[in-house]
Structure 1
């Protein structure tokens, strides 16, 4: 498996040298400065590649785009989308021409990943990302005041949400809004409450079936280009894998992945296997999902979560939490062997340690939430140990 690391460009407080020190060689990055729907030029792609290659001794290469964002109008199916599809395909061609051929993307409406705490304190003083069900319910029901929101939360969660809202200061409420808006670092849009209400209203008439068809349309438009250029698209699961703020979610469980991979039945139409996103859903059997869709896993995010009965969850140690990471790595290594035995040129599955804890000297450095250096280094080292042990015992290629 290709050990990789997410890097946000020159604004990232984690330097490229730290990626090499962590033992990774693949760099997962994106051109966050380019607005959604605008073509990524060859010059801009090559400029990012040149940053990675500036010190050849580091041995870094851009192996995965995360992400080439999909414009919200495509998700909604709004208006004439010809130019947006044309631009997306041209960006794909330009990436392929520069040798970058794996694209991670998502189809989550409005927001990317969602947490209510970005720095939940851990024993010893570190911190982790956390989703508190009652805080999100307080936001949904009492701050956003979404019509019908109460029906999406249990009575106990609503009781705790009301208590939180009554006791919360204006600073507490502002912090919660900012945490929920944080989403994917580098995401282009942030909203205040009125703007969020307006944006949510655009989805009033979009059902799960409607969003699925819009995704299928996107795949029909772009997968032929991926096939033509030897590219792999890998959709990222919803995070968390359930409806938020009344929005439809369509990449949350095995049945969703079944629909997606069959919508355009091509090896180019694949999955980012995120053990944290899928793992936050109590309905998901991760080893079973990994086995079923192994041939379509083009990229992996390996992290772990610990779930609470009320729907809350927290980022756990990479080898802790509720997911058997050893079994997941075993499945991925076995799939790699199948690909290598079949003579596939690009048989290694790139992966990265995801959402590490903020630890030790990284505390207070201002890294993107979940993307401090030491927490991810710890996760990568743990996963590397699992990989090495399994490969040795089972004679599997790394």
Structure 2
């Protein structure tokens, strides 16, 4: 049977985890990006090939781009958005020239992902990522002091958030602030309050409908190019899958996914099926998404979450959480075998174990991801065996 292509993410030469470390995990594929190139600029062939060579010297291949970032001007459809779309097309053509055929991206305004706690302590002492709506409201209203933030929440939510904030000392408030405004993946710089407020002001008047139209316009331009090149575009769901900082969200729900895929009905216009991001929204049926859109899934992020009261969730063990991972993997295997085509998968995030002490990029410790990979690999093998037995 066709199985998933096992990969791991690497943030480049500045990553605290080396390519040799990743190779010793037993994967042959790397997921990475040219984080040193400013967002919106063209990825040149020479730069792509240099990164490929570094990876090949360690016995692996650059299998998936994550991410080729979309400039904020494109998301807002303002400024130099037309030039940035042309640059995006050129980068796709250069990636094709180098033989890289899967490109992940997202369309989240400003912040790629948000957590309020990067070191939530589990009962066994490991640490995980967590999002707590109460903590986030306190950050939004009382720390960042975003204009109009109070109007986005109920009176009871504001009272609860203020009470929570009163329980924090100054160092805890500073830590919360830094956690939320971490910045872009692969970046060593966090957003400043002034920067984030300026960026938020640039989104005034852009609601979900406007952002969705801007996404469709972007896809109508770049997806035909990708289709011609044989490149698969894989949009990552919003993380978390609901509005933060009053910003619009258009890749959060099953309906969102259906709208995106139907608006530009090309195979190149596909999904990064992230069980963690989609699973944080209780109304998303992850199995139904595979049933409806399995042929348009081009990349897999497999992790689990445990949802708690309200909009609070923590990242859990890969096989233990609210997502039915056994059923998910079985359905994905059936899709791959129906299409006679494997899908690249990476174990998304992982716990931080005491042996590593710290991680440069939250969620990307080596041991935690290796544990997740081993569990997913074992589960996949068991399901493959079961499916083979069923056929006999």
The TM-score with structure 1 as length reference comes to: 0.94
Q: 1:274 to 1:61 in 2, by over 3 A?
A: same
2:87: which partner in 1? 87
Q: Measure, in 1, the Cα distance between the counterparts of 2:225 and 2:241.
A: 29
- Flag structure 1 segments of 5+ consecutive residues without an equivalent: 341-346
Deviations 1:91-136 (A, max 9, x none): 1001010011100000000101100011111223210011111110
Report how far residue 149 of structure 1 moved.
2.6
- Does the 8 Å CA contact 2:73/2:80 hold for their aligned counterparts? no
Deviations 1:199-235 (A, max 9, x none): 1011111011100010001001101110111100000
1:361 to 2:364 alignment? no
1:380 to 2:373 alignment? yes
> How many matched pairs?
386
- Does the 8 Å CA contact 1:120/1:128 hold for their aligned counterparts? yes
2:388: which partner in 1? 395
Deviations 1:5-56 (A, max 9, x none): 000111111111222222211100000010001010001001100111113x
Q: Measure, in 2, the Cα distance between the counterparts of 1:260 and 1:297.
A: 13
- Does the 8 Å CA contact 1:114/1:240 hold for their aligned counterparts? yes
Partner secondary structure for residue 181 of structure 2: helix
- Does the 8 Å CA contact 1:115/1:183 hold for their aligned counterparts? no
2:29: which partner in 1? 26
- Does the 8 Å CA contact 2:112/2:185 hold for their aligned counterparts? no
Pairwise CA RMSD: 1.5
1:38: which partner in 2? 41
The equivalent position to 1:13 in structure 2, one of 16, 29, 33, is 16
2:206: which partner in 1? 206
Q: Measure, in 1, the Cα distance between the counterparts of 2:259 and 2:183.
A: 26
Report how far residue 151 of structure 1 moved.
4.2
Report how far residue 290 of structure 1 moved.
1.8
Q: 1:136 to 1:159 in 2, by over 3 A?
A: same
1:49 to 2:42 alignment? no
1:123: which partner in 2? 123
1:97: which partner in 2? 97
- Does the 8 Å CA contact 1:32/1:188 hold for their aligned counterparts? no
Q: Measure, in 2, the Cα distance between the counterparts of 1:154 and 1:337.
A: 49
Superposition pairs of residues 211-226 of structure 1, within 5 angstroms: 211-226=211-226
Q: Measure, in 2, the Cα distance between the counterparts of 1:22 and 1:54.
A: 16
2:297: which partner in 1? 297
1:112: which partner in 2? 112
Q: Measure, in 1, the Cα distance between the counterparts of 2:49 and 2:38.
A: 18
Superposition pairs of residues 144-183 of structure 1, within 5 angstroms: 144-183=144-183
1:250: which partner in 2? 250
Deviations 1:319-366 (A, max 9, x none): 0110000111011100001111xxxxxx101010011000142123x3
Partner secondary structure for residue 92 of structure 1: helix
Partner secondary structure for residue 293 of structure 1: helix
Partner secondary structure for residue 150 of structure 2: helix
- Does the 8 Å CA contact 1:223/1:268 hold for their aligned counterparts? yes
Q: Measure, in 2, the Cα distance between the counterparts of 1:148 and 1:277.
A: 27
- Does the 8 Å CA contact 1:116/1:176 hold for their aligned counterparts? yes
Q: 1:358 to 1:188 in 2, by over 3 A?
A: closer
Q: Measure, in 2, the Cα distance between the counterparts of 1:393 and 1:37.
A: 47
Using the TM superposition, name which of 190-199 and 106-115 deviates more: 190-199
Q: Measure, in 1, the Cα distance between the counterparts of 2:165 and 2:12.
A: 38
Superposition pairs of residues 272-311 of structure 1, within 5 angstroms: 272-311=272-311
Q: Measure, in 2, the Cα distance between the counterparts of 1:281 and 1:153.
A: 19
Report how far residue 167 of structure 1 moved.
3.2
- Does the 8 Å CA contact 1:157/1:310 hold for their aligned counterparts? no
